[in-house]
Structure 1
Amino acid sequence: MFRTAVRNVLAHKARLLMTVLAVMLGVAFVSGTLVFTNTISQAQQSSSAKGFDHVDVAVEPESQPDRGDRLAPPPQLSEALLKKAAQVPGADSAIGSLQGFTALAGKDGKLVGTGFSTQGGNYWGSHDPRHPLETGRAPHGPHEVAIDAKTAERTGYKVGDTVRVSVDGPVLTPKISGIFTTDDGTVAAGGSLTLFDTPTAQRLFHKEGAYDRIDVEAAAGVSQHALQTQLDDVLPKDRASTATARQLADDQAETIASSMDSFRTTLLMFAGIALFVGIFLIANTFTMLVAQRTKELALLRAVGASRKQVTRSVLFEAFVVGTIAAVAGLAVGVGIGAGLRAVMGATGVTLPDGPLVISPGTVAASLAVGILVTMLAAWLPGRRAAKIPPVAAMNSVHATATTKSLVLRNTLGALLTAAGTAVVLYATSMQDMDSAQLPLGLGAVLLVIGIFVLTPLLSRPLIAAAGPLLRAFGVSGKLARLNAVRNPRRTAATSAALMIGLTLITGMTVIAGSSQQAVDKMATSALKADYVVSMANGSSLSPEVEKKLDGADGVTAVSGLRNAPARIANSTEYLTGVNGRTIGDLTDLPLKNGAFTVGGKDVVVDDDTAKEKGWKAGTTFPVTYEDGSKQRLTVAGIYEGNELISGILLDNATLTPHIGDPSDMQVMVKTAGGTSDAAQSGLIKALGDNPAIQVQDKQDISEGIAKTVTLMLNMLYGLLAMAVIVAVLGVVNTLAMSVFERSQEIGMLRAIGLDRRGIKRMVRLESLVISLFGGVLGIGLGVFFGWAGGKLISGSLDTYEMVLPWGRLGLFLALAALVGVLAALWPARRAARLNMLAAIKAE
């Protein structure tokens, strides 16, 4: 039986090629994902570990307990603690470390690096072992900085150049005193590191006389553990905690690995989709192969082969095919992993250096996935073949599905579809989005499986609907329609692969487009301000920014949004400080009750908070500020909140005296002449052409949202393209084998007058009908899932309304048609080239 199975694989190489390609693509996606993420993770861990070369024990702040009368301030390490750590008998030296966001402008005026990859810190004394100087000297005073060598190389800066730097808003123009090398992982990944002397860094990062961490190096002969013990004995346990460099490196490695998990899971999810789609192709292929070998298998049964032997022979064929595909997929995946790294580098994303990592786990996972998926998909056709009685198989009695089996299939499909629809509708009625995700996912899976089971039943009416259009192509069109519904199960399995891919693409497009419009509507309708000023990386702004904007030419109203924690009714809430005089001119927040008055003890509260607290206009409530001061505030009015502005709004004049280090999330600005290029340029100049600050009008905010959504969708389309490619292979495989099965029929059609062009047209139209059938089902399911997902989102996003992107839906349907046309090229050509006499005589 095994020899027979091997001969069958060798005899059907061409027919099994598509199956090999489908499995290979899925495995390549899996192995490529694992290789890429493992390589990046290990490179980041190695780079991070180098940062602890000059640290044996790190002293970090101990979190302070929340005292009832006052909110605990952020913990800091004092100069006294630094000196005490340096004097421990086992310590050789101690360094105080600071870190914070620092934007550095290149010679073109643009921000070097992006977001949180632009960091700053302190250079320790005249010689910092963490940052050995390559050229120049250590920075001294507020007018000097040192920059890392990679940033200097990218920007062209050298010692003596004047640079523009910003920490929290105002622009600084120090000179470069030195250029240093560093093993910092952020720099290795394309970021920048700007260092000030310690007093300047403490002032700029608002940590006067304090440090984020104290790095202690052990004296010769003293172990890390022994030094840690000595430090624990002398440092106050309620203010500082210690960790060895080994512990820090392990924690950092765990953090990096954890950060890669979500990225890896996302990619593997799409790989799973491609493999799931591939299962239909594999099952279809083996079903047709088994059907073509029915008499051969019946003969084997007649001469003594058992059912188990027949099933095992089919599974062995699948094992051989799966092994070949898995090995090829692993090889291709390694290339994909290396290619992804190169592509990201070419697009400007700098990744840490390191070798390509091909772990034993990656090899084992790739082989297991490829072999198991193939054998699982082939098991049902093999089992079905083994159950056919030998005499019935030889006489082709088994060829037509029984009425009982069709009724059973349709009943099961209807039950699954109904159950899936019910679970999805139940999920949409839930209030909590997090709780609804599991039932929504379960319902979606049940519904997709149910529709797949019902596709043979659905294929007849849906394909029949295309009859009037196919009549225009004469005999070829009529034959194409009949061929498409001749074997509904095969048509269903072929179209299902395309259906799944288009379901995901359509659903994501509907949700993303509707969410974009909702956020856009919310962002533009809630603001009357002409511009919103914020940091490029989302961090807070210095109060100096609001002051500079308030004094700029043409500015009529300005207000910063300032957050601060406070205790209200034994719970910690965040208050939002605004300019009480101008906030009404800058926002458009519908008032539900009371008056929109912000000033002194009067505050306004969003409707959700008011409902939760049981407040109404005129209610007074006690508040304990961050510094422990207490006050009673009065609810002057209740407004309709949104994602941009919500919570308790009070005057900055009331809030700021109780904040130790005030800063703004953003600043809203209104100008005399409204939005214009001149007004925007004036605001940018007033802020010193700061590379770290962005000045956006409503259109900029809208385009920023659109850009983010478009980028996300393009990534998803790229990932789902794998599933569509597998679907194309499925259609090609089905048509090719269908042409082989119908050789006699095609030969007869040729003999009675249908020319080669008519044969080609018949196969192409058949492919087109099957692909459009899958496309219609996929788009329909995708719209339904998009609606269901939108119902969950609308619970937290009031402006959400489902928007059907008709242009893209039409494009997806055209894509399905294109799949059908391309997939039919080779089978149609093959059918047209058949020798009619040889085909008529074929068994």
Structure 2
Amino acid sequence: MIRLTLSQMRKSVGRLVAAGVAIMIGTAFVAATLVAGETITRTSTDAIAAVYAKSDLVVVGLGDRLTPDEVAKVAAVDGVKATAVHAQLGVQLETDKRNIWARVVPTASDPRLDAQVVLRGALPTSPGQVALPVDMANRLGATVGGTVTTPAIATDGSDAAGAETLTVVGILDDPNGAFAMEGGAVMASQADVDRWLVSYNGGEQAPADAVGLTLADDADRAEVAQTIESTLSTDGRQVVARTLQEQAGEIARQLTGDAHTVTYVVLAFAALALIVAGLVIANTFQVLVAQRTRTLALLRCVGANKRQLRTSVLLEATILGLLASLSGIALGLGAAQVTLSVLSTRDVGVPLPTVVPVSVAVFAVPLLAGLLVTVLAATSPARAATRVAPLAALRPADAPSVRHGSTGRLVTATLMTVTGFVMLGLGAAAGLMREPMIGLLVGIPGGALSFVGVAVGSVFWIPKVTAWVGSLAARTGPSARLATANTLRNPRRTAATSTALLIGVTLVVMMTTGAESARQTFNASFDERYSVDVAVLGGHQLSADGKNTTQLDAGVTSQIAAVDGVTATATITRGLVEAKGDDVPFDVAMGDGEARPIIDAIDPATAATVMRDTTDLAPFTDDALVISKNWASGSNVTDGQKVTLVGAGGATADLTVQVVPSMPAGLEIAVTTATLLKLDPGAVTNSLLVRVADPENPRSTVADIQDVVDDLGVWTTGPVVERAMFDQVIDALLAVVVGLLAVAVFIALIGVTNTLSLSVLERQRENAMLRAIGLTRKQLRLTLTVEGLLIALVGTGLGVVLGTVYGWAGSAAALGTFGDIALAVPWRDLGLVLVVAVLAGLVASVLPARRATRTSPVEALAVD
């Protein structure tokens, strides 16, 4: 039987290649996903571990940071050679070119504890010396031997007079991306770092986030770790000593919840591709069994039993699954390596491996998955092979009889579908009622249950839908009528093929509909909550004498107004006032104990040209002091309270407090610009509100605005910035997901080809008879083309409807907390899906049609 199986495979190599491609693509995705997950996990943990350089152990406190006493005890443990204290510290560095905020780390006593390496110069060894990351040095225009300054900090953390000059002694590189998120870290002497930490901690020694340490050559790491934990873990206090990889893995889990989350998500889509491939494999083996009906019957006549025939089909499936899976693994690894090579040529912020990491799981999981899916898919055709009667070899094969699903299947599918859609509706309703957690807990299982019910019951309703669509097409001529009748001759196979397409299309449309609904919902929420596109906000407060170090002068505001894409600007001015009376709405005294609080001002007429929703401007009148509800709730102010404000020159303004739920651009307490200039003629422009021309694509405009204010120490923010970030994330995720699901659609289209091929085989004599009575080659080819289009359009059309419903329900369940849900329809994407389906149906019919028209009527009518 083995030789016979191999011989049959050689004769059917063309059809087996089509099935093998389906399983190969599925296993390639599994392999590539596992490699990508391993690369992401390893890269992320290595990047986290890089902060600790080559530490033998990392000591951390659970719950609270390590106190200075605990740090000293760690250093005193026998076997500890050197320690490096990890604490968050940042300082402002300035040159005549610009100023930046930079993280600072000390030079370690053991070079193995330094995460960065010297490119030029040397590491700091004395107070007053620093080494700068190369990119930071370029931005500051600093070189080895030059100087930078930092504001002097008093021991209580407040600004002291003057500035501290630091000598640049080295330029650094960060080869392992230890400080990639911060753009590198400045290195200073331990003495300077300790002094700055004490100053920022109010005159006391600062606690440590962690302590990295190296061990003596003869020290046992496990023993030292146990000693540290037993010494410091007392009275409910728990201190742990971890290896470098253990610490990195723990941090990764804290940040992501699970370091393998991305892998699991993508594997789910790879599994979907394998499931659809299984449907294609099942149809392919049905074709093969139908082709070999007479051969199998003859084998029964010469003594082959049912078990041998079943074993032969399953052996063929095993060999196919093995070869296709191995090819898929090679394809997946090759694609991953090419991707890694391309990424390695770009600056992605973290070091990447040069060769894809390969583990036993990368080979075993795709191989077993491919084999399992192929063998399971061939099980039903194998049973069909055993049902071939020996006498079937003595007569021509008849067309298959129409077989529908069982009553039990109908009842099960109906219950699952109805129950699932009810749960899905309840989940959507819960989301709309601002209960997204309940909505997701009910809606996701409901959607999955209903989807399975739809797939299980497809044999009952897909043929009916196909018949209805076919009845419309039948009016165009005899070829269309024949095609419609052919799709209904084997409803199980037609349903299986359309279901394969339906699964992929449904998920593609669900993701695109959900993404578009989420995008529009978020945009509407941004417009409602934040009516300003971009706000350039001053980052420092005014001092008591009115000095403003972040003033936006006329030159800066003019440059921003001239940025391409900016259509309007409105200034926010800031000044100093005093409030008369004991019960005043200011809680903070500034500068020498004098109650001279900061107040902002906006001109409502100018702001109306900038803001997309001017509702927040209504309270701003010249006799009103407008205060946000959040600010008022923490002060002694009440709505309608009368307040007298006094300016620096003695001018006064009697105002009425207006407490409002929201204010433009995050303002807390403000008056009109006219009122503030009356009180403080020296008030300066501190912030700027900006409107951009196209809020859907603001990236370049926002970047240009940021370039203008890069050196001013101000903060550029606003809903347009958040919307741009949201769009980038949603577009990237959608591209990945749709790309993965497109694989399932592609595999399903192979199934359409196989189904049409089986149709040609079963109707060989019938097609010959039609040719004999006058049906032309063109009409026969058109019949198969219409049949392929019917299968593709029905599966795609139903997938579009289901996907839209699922996308809307998922959006309602998940996005209810963001306000009114925008149930969007991505017409462009839906149109693209339908166009692809039509083209795919045409392409899928080419080979079967060629086979059908190539056989002459006389040859097809002959009895073997």
TM-score, length of structure 2 as denominator length: 0.73
In structure 2, relative to structure 1, the CA distance for the partners of 1:415 and 1:306 (3 Å cut) is farther
Is the 2:511–2:738 contact (alpha carbons within 8 Å) kept by the matching residues of 1? no
Give the residue type in structure 2 aligned to 1:133.
V
Is the 2:781–2:850 contact (alpha carbons within 8 Å) kept by the matching residues of 1? yes
**What is the 5 A alignment of 1:554-565?**
556-557=571-572
In structure 2, relative to structure 1, the CA distance for the partners of 1:731 and 1:175 (3 Å cut) is farther
Tell whether 2:503 aligns with 1:500. Answer: yes
Paired residue secondary structure (1:796): helix
**Which residue of structure 2 aligns with residue 180 of structure 1?**
172
1:121 is aligned, of 91, 94, 104, to 104
Tell whether 2:528 aligns with 1:525. Answer: yes
**What is the 5 A alignment of 1:603-642?**
603=633, 639=661
Output one character per residue of 1:415-473: Cα deviation in whole Å (capped at 9) or x when no partner.
43323323323433446434444543433333333333443443444334444764575
What's the Cα RMSD here? 5.1
Paired residue secondary structure (1:60): strand
Paired residue secondary structure (1:486): coil
Q: Counterparts of 2:335 and 2:297 in 1: how far apart (Å)? A: 44
Tell whether 2:515 aligns with 1:512. Answer: yes
**What is the 5 A alignment of 1:197-216?**
197=188, 199=192, 203=196, 206=200, 209-210=205-206, 211-216=208-213
Q: Counterparts of 2:21 and 2:630 in 1: how far apart (Å)? A: 71
Q: Counterparts of 2:38 and 2:332 in 1: how far apart (Å)? A: 13
Give the residue type in structure 1 aligned to 2:378.
A
Is the 2:533–2:720 contact (alpha carbons within 8 Å) kept by the matching residues of 1? no
**Which residue of structure 2 aligns with residue 416 of structure 1?**
416
Q: Counterparts of 1:501 and 1:102 in 2: how far apart (Å)? A: 53
Tell whether 2:12 aligns with 1:12. Answer: yes
More deviation in 804-813 or 826-835?
Answer: 826-835
Give the residue type in structure 1 aligned to 2:632.
D
In structure 2, relative to structure 1, the CA distance for the partners of 1:807 and 1:402 (3 Å cut) is closer
Paired residue secondary structure (2:123): coil
**Cα offset for 1:706?**
2.8
Is the 1:423–1:439 contact (alpha carbons within 8 Å) kept by the matching residues of 2? yes
Output one character per residue of 1:522-543: Cα deviation in whole Å (capped at 9) or x when no partner.
11222244534599xxxxx776
Is the 2:84–2:212 contact (alpha carbons within 8 Å) kept by the matching residues of 1? yes
In structure 2, relative to structure 1, the CA distance for the partners of 1:147 and 1:752 (3 Å cut) is farther
**Which residue of structure 1 aligns with residue 361 of structure 2?**
361
**Cα offset for 1:360?**
1.7
- % identical equivalent positions: 28
Q: Counterparts of 1:411 and 1:203 in 2: how far apart (Å)? A: 74
Tell whether 2:490 aligns with 1:490. Answer: no
**Cα offset for 1:754?**
3.7
**Which residue of structure 2 aligns with residue 446 of structure 1?**
449
**Which residue of structure 2 aligns with residue 809 of structure 1?**
830
Q: Counterparts of 2:40 and 2:99 in 1: how far apart (Å)? A: 27
**Which residue of structure 2 aligns with residue 330 of structure 1?**
329
Give the residue type in structure 1 aligned to 2:243.
Q
Is the 1:529–1:668 contact (alpha carbons within 8 Å) kept by the matching residues of 2? no
**Cα offset for 1:281?**
0.6
Output one character per residue of 1:53-88: Cα deviation in whole Å (capped at 9) or x when no partner.
653444435534xxxxxxxxxx4644x665565455
Is the 1:40–1:351 contact (alpha carbons within 8 Å) kept by the matching residues of 2? no
Output one character per residue of 1:352-381: Cα deviation in whole Å (capped at 9) or x when no partner.
235432222222212210111011111123
2:81 is aligned, of 92, 114, 122, to 92
2:797 is aligned, of 754, 757, 776, to 776
**Cα offset for 1:139?**
4.9
**Cα offset for 1:250?**
2.2
Q: Counterparts of 2:239 and 2:195 in 1: how far apart (Å)? A: 22
In structure 2, relative to structure 1, the CA distance for the partners of 1:57 and 1:300 (3 Å cut) is closer
**Which residue of structure 2 aligns with residue 463 of structure 1?**
466
More deviation in 484-493 or 698-707?
Answer: 698-707
Q: Counterparts of 1:57 and 1:800 in 2: how far apart (Å)? A: 50
**Cα offset for 1:277?**
0.8
Output one character per residue of 1:111-132: Cα deviation in whole Å (capped at 9) or x when no partner.
9xxxxxx983313279855144
Flag structure 1 segments of 5+ consecutive residues without an equivalent. 65-74, 112-117, 536-540, 560-577, 606-615, 619-634, 653-666
Paired residue secondary structure (1:803): coil
Is the 1:281–1:494 contact (alpha carbons within 8 Å) kept by the matching residues of 2? yes
Give the residue type in structure 2 aligned to 1:275.
L
Q: Counterparts of 1:346 and 1:252 in 2: how far apart (Å)? A: 26
Paired residue secondary structure (1:602): helix
**Which residue of structure 2 aligns with residue 480 of structure 1?**
483
Q: Counterparts of 1:777 and 1:600 in 2: how far apart (Å)? A: 50
More deviation in 693-702 or 7-16?
Answer: 693-702
In structure 2, relative to structure 1, the CA distance for the partners of 1:763 and 1:694 (3 Å cut) is farther
In structure 2, relative to structure 1, the CA distance for the partners of 1:718 and 1:351 (3 Å cut) is farther
Give the residue type in structure 2 aligned to 1:318.
A
**Cα offset for 1:149?**
6.6
In structure 2, relative to structure 1, the CA distance for the partners of 1:154 and 1:770 (3 Å cut) is farther
In structure 2, relative to structure 1, the CA distance for the partners of 1:173 and 1:776 (3 Å cut) is farther
Is the 2:483–2:784 contact (alpha carbons within 8 Å) kept by the matching residues of 1? yes
Give the residue type in structure 1 aligned to 2:84.
I
**Which residue of structure 2 aligns with residue 221 of structure 1?**
218
**Which residue of structure 2 aligns with residue 572 of structure 1?**
none
**Cα offset for 1:780?**
0.9
Structure showing greater radius of gyration is 2
> For this pair of structures, how many residues does the alignment match?
746
Q: Counterparts of 1:273 and 1:600 in 2: how far apart (Å)? A: 49
**What is the 5 A alignment of 1:103-502?**
120-124=103-107, 129=112, 130=114, 131-139=116-124, 145-148=130-133, 159=144, 177-182=169-174, 184-186=176-178, 192-197=183-188, 199=192, 203=196, 206=200, 209-210=205-206, 211-219=208-216, 221-225=218-222, 227-228=224-225, 242-244=239-241, 247-253=243-249, 256=252, 260-301=259-300, 305-346=304-345, 348-349=347-348, 350-353=350-353, 355-387=355-387, 399-401=400-402, 405=405, 409-430=409-430, 432-467=435-470, 470=473, 474-502=477-505
Output one character per residue of 1:620-641: Cα deviation in whole Å (capped at 9) or x when no partner.
xxxxxxxxxxxxxxx9979599
**Cα offset for 1:772?**
0.7
1:735 is aligned, of 756, 759, 780, to 756
**Which residue of structure 1 aligns with residue 581 of structure 2?**
none
**Cα offset for 1:727?**
1.4
**Cα offset for 1:147?**
4.2
Q: Counterparts of 2:394 and 2:461 in 1: how far apart (Å)? A: 31
**Which residue of structure 1 aligns with residue 841 of structure 2?**
820
Q: Counterparts of 1:40 and 1:155 in 2: how far apart (Å)? A: 33
More deviation in 833-842 or 804-813?
Answer: 833-842
More deviation in 433-442 or 170-179?
Answer: 170-179
In structure 2, relative to structure 1, the CA distance for the partners of 1:2 and 1:418 (3 Å cut) is farther
TM-score, length of structure 1 as denominator length: 0.74
Paired residue secondary structure (2:120): strand
Output one character per residue of 1:193-243: Cα deviation in whole Å (capped at 9) or x when no partner.
221425369759955742433334344534345545665687695798654
Paired residue secondary structure (1:55): coil
Output one character per residue of 1:765-804: Cα deviation in whole Å (capped at 9) or x when no partner.
2212211111111001101111211221243221222111
Q: Counterparts of 1:185 and 1:790 in 2: how far apart (Å)? A: 38
Tell whether 2:713 aligns with 1:717. Answer: no
Q: Counterparts of 2:549 and 2:533 in 1: how far apart (Å)? A: 17
Is the 1:589–1:639 contact (alpha carbons within 8 Å) kept by the matching residues of 2? no
Q: Counterparts of 1:281 and 1:192 in 2: how far apart (Å)? A: 50
Flag structure 2 segments of 5+ consecutive residues without an equivalent. 152-158, 558-569, 575-596, 618-624, 641-656, 671-684
Is the 1:63–1:239 contact (alpha carbons within 8 Å) kept by the matching residues of 2? no
1:788 is aligned, of 791, 809, 814, to 809
In structure 2, relative to structure 1, the CA distance for the partners of 1:433 and 1:311 (3 Å cut) is farther
Q: Counterparts of 1:28 and 1:684 in 2: how far apart (Å)? A: 43
Output one character per residue of 1:74-112: Cα deviation in whole Å (capped at 9) or x when no partner.
x4644x66556545565433333334689999xx9999x
Paired residue secondary structure (2:55): coil
Is the 1:506–1:809 contact (alpha carbons within 8 Å) kept by the matching residues of 2? yes
Give the residue type in structure 2 aligned to 1:124.
T
Paired residue secondary structure (2:818): coil
